[in-house]
Amino acid sequence: MTVTIVVGGFFGDEGKGKVISHLARADDPDIVVRGGAGPNAGHTIRSGNDTYKVRMLPCGFLNKSTRLLVGPGVVINPKVLYSEIAEFGVGGRAFIDKNCGIIEQSHIDMDSKGDLKEKIGSTGSGTGPANADRAMRVLKLACHINELEDVTIDVPAEIDRTVRAGGDVLVEGTQGTFLSLWHGTYPYVTSKDVTASGICADVGIGPTIVDDVIMVVKAFVTRVGTGPLNNELSHEDTVRRGWNEKGTVTGRDRRAAAFDYELGRRAVMLNGANQLALTKLDMLFPECSKMTSYDNLSLEAKSFVKKMEDELGIPVTIVGTGPEDTSVIDRRS
């Protein structure tokens, strides 16, 4: 029985989707359960010729025997939920918790204008206003909506049953440590705590049952929307290095900077992380593209990985070497 949490180490978009997709196929967990804020998070998975953009369901659906759950801490846009269930063909194995909050059009409208849009650079998904309504105790929950009945279950009880029966559970965090409402660069943050402890609460598990916290970091740091980014590169520099990316949900340009070890150490602390997944190594070391064996990495790439382990104090157990979910080095024993 193992319970593993995957969280983002910086500002989201570290490559969690790819890492989770890999873990789901490598470990065949009984459940992948999503925590985090809501459909403001976009994960991208590339598998073969297909690209999947996921905002509501957990990644890991490519492993056909895994059940896909969404914890009660996550606010749901039913339209996005249903379109993903249909698009990914996962009807019958995808469920949300009865206590998930529901995003309505009014939340989306409120999120798409004023300070939330202009000052904070919100994704416009309605996630923040819905969480505000939840704090005000006026938000509708999934259990209040008849049409959601067939996809609604008791997620914490389902996880508990699985864990007691000796099954494996993979817990998917969204966003990143420094977008946390408690620990991030407030006010330029999302509307929830998104560190490992917050994700545990989102899905209804307690800290004593967690075996591993895998923190995902990219070989460089990106941030979409407003808020501080140390040593931010100019757009021209970002493009020159090939580090220019676009947001999955909003299509906005992501801002970029070189890897920040100090911030990384703080993220390890805040999450109690005991393993690192380092993605996009091939962007710094193109000769490592698509490699699946650590031994074959160039000396420079190996010393970058080693430096990461020395600076952050925990092992790099997973390395991403390309956008496809098979371009992974898995060093877990």
With CB under 5 A as the contact rule, which of the stretches 25-33, 147-155, 187-195, 242-250 interacts with Mg ion? Answer: 242-250
User: What's 330's DSSP letter?
Assistant: E
Tell me if residue 212 is catalytic.
Answer: no
Whichever of 219 and 249 has its CB closer to ligand IMP, that residue is 249
What are the beta bridge partners of residue 181?
none
Element (H, E) at 152: strand 152-153
Query: Residue 159 or 280: which CB sits closer to Mg ion?
Result: 280
In the complex, minimum distance from the CB of residue 158 to Mg ion, in angstroms, rounded to a whole number: 26
DSSP, res 113: S
State the number of binding residues for ligand IMP (CB under 6 A): 24
Closer CB to ligand IMP, 188 or 304, in the complex: 188
According to the binding rule CB under 6 A, does residue 41 interact with ligand IMP? Answer: yes
Q: Which of 43, 97, 168, 282 is catalytic?
A: 43
Which residue is it, tokens 């259990």? 143
Around 1, how many Cα atoms within 13 Å sit in the side-chain half-sphere? Answer: 11
H or E segment and range at residue 6: strand 3-8
- DSSP summary character for residue 242: T
Q: Which of 73, 101, 128, 322 binds ligand IMP (CB under 6 A)?
A: 128
CA distance 171 to 71: 10
Q: Of Mg ion, ligand IMP, none, which one does residue 123 interact with (CB within 5 to 8 Å by kind)?
A: ligand IMP
User: How far is 63 from 55, CA to CA, in rounded Å?
Assistant: 18
Which of 21, 175, 180, 197 is close enough to bind ligand IMP by CB under 6 A?
A: 175
329: left (phi over 0), alpha (psi -120 to 50) or beta: beta
Of 9, 12, 17, 39, the one binding ligand IMP by CB under 6 A: 12
What count of other Cβ atoms lies within 10 Å of the Cβ of residue 257?
A: 19
Contact criterion met (CB below 8 Å) for 195 and 271? yes
Which of 9, 101, 156, 225 is close enough to bind ligand IMP by CB under 6 A?
Answer: 225
Contacting Mg ion (CB under 5 A), which of 8, 36, 39, 42?
A: 42
Q: Is 235 a catalytic residue?
A: no
Residue 179 within binding range of ligand IMP, rule CB under 6 A: yes
Q: Does 180 bind ligand IMP (CB under 6 A)?
A: no
Q: Which of 44, 63, 127, 271 lies at the binding interface for ligand IMP (CB under 6 A)?
A: 127
Exactly one of 120, 130, 141, 312 binds ligand IMP (CB under 6 A); which one? 120
The two three-digit tokens of residue 324, written as one number: 């496809």
E strands, 9-54, in order: 31-34, 43-47, 50-54
User: For residues 37 and 303, is the Cβ–Cβ distance under 8 A?
Assistant: no
User: What is the closest distance, in whole angstroms, from the C-beta atom of residue 245 to ligand IMP in the complex?
Assistant: 10
Question: Would you please indicate which residues are annotated as catalytic (active-site) residues?
Answer: 13, 43
- Residues in contact with ligand IMP by CB under 6 A are 11-13, 37, 40-42, 120-123, 125, 127-128, 174-175, 179, 188, 190-191, 224-227
